Amino acid sequence: MRKTRLGAISAILVGLCYFFTVILVLLAPPGENAVVDHITHMEKLMAVHYILGFLGVLGIMVVLTISRTLEKQTAGSEWYPYSKVMAIIGFALLAINNFRQTGLDHELSHEAIHASGAVLDAVVIGWVGLVEFSPQGWIDFGFVGIWILTVSVFSLKLHNRKLLSYLGYLGGSCFIVTVLGNVTGLSFLVMIGMGLGGLVVVPAWFIYYGVLLLKKPLLPTDLSTNTEI
């Protein structure tokens, strides 16, 4: 029997982390600028960074687990290995970026407020470039969204998990819509992508996948069948 307990628990935790991250962000509404926001809502935003940092680490474990359970189905796929690496890069960047910000945002925002004047203006203008590695979400949201869509194709076709696959199609699409919203500046796309995807669908997909793996880990024979596991 293939052991999936660690990856399954990680998947459930990833889903919960996405959910609580969006809740915390909603509890920290944007104000005058990013520097003021990080003074006003420092505790909530720091909690977001820690949660996303650990989410990134757990996400790598989930990608490896799900990929291992699909290895026979995806053995002939040229695309799946690329999407797997993209997801690992996306989760790794998410972890690096947010753990970095736990040690940067607090100091930078307070120093900017203390300095005021031209220094404050410069930090406000350049905040995203100073603290973000993927400001538009191409890597941490786009790459992960593409992988979720890819996994869902194989889940629907080979495992007959229709609900799980449909959740994956919707969740992966929401992440991509979030990126498009950031790129185009259309805030309603970001609201749809993160409100529907980050708060509901993507957490549900990860939690559902984790529960299925906990209930019945994949057997070697399951990997070549189309039955529900």
> Alpha-carbon distance 84 to 90, whole Å?
10
Closest CA to 133 of 91, 195, 76: 91
pLDDT value at position 160?
61
Q: 172-190 pLDDT, tens per residue?
A: 999 999 999 999 999 899 9
Q: 24-51 pLDDT, tens per residue?
A: 998 888 777 778 888 888 899 999 999 9
Q: Given the structure tokens 């203390």, which residue do they identify?
A: 114
Q: Are 75 and 112 in contact (CB under 8 A)?
A: no
| DSSP designation for 136 | T
Q: Taking the mean position of all CA atoms in its chain, how far away is CA 6?
A: 18
What global pTM score does this model have?
0.87
Q: Are 89 and 139 in contact (CB under 8 A)?
A: yes
> Alpha-carbon distance 16 to 175, whole Å?
16
Amino acid at 85: V
Q: Token pair of 26, please?
A: 């909603």
Q: Are 127 and 113 in contact (CB under 8 A)?
A: no
Q: How far is CA 209 from CA 52, 161, 201, in A?
A: 19, 10, 12
> Alpha-carbon distance 145 to 172, whole Å?
4
Q: Are 54 and 132 in contact (CB under 8 A)?
A: no
pLDDT value at position 1?
38
Q: Token pair of 189, please?
A: 């796309």
Q: Cite the DSSP H helix spans in the chain.
A: 5-26, 34-40, 42-69, 80-102, 105-115, 117-131, 144-158, 162-184, 187-192, 202-215
pLDDT value at position 158?
61
- Give yes or no for residue 132 having a pLDDT over 60: yes
Q: Token pair of 154, please?
A: 């194989």
Separation of first and last alpha carbons in the chain = 13
| DSSP designation for 20 | H
Q: 68-125 pLDDT, tens per residue?
A: 988 888 888 999 999 999 999 999 999 999 999 888 877 888 788 777 778 788 888 8
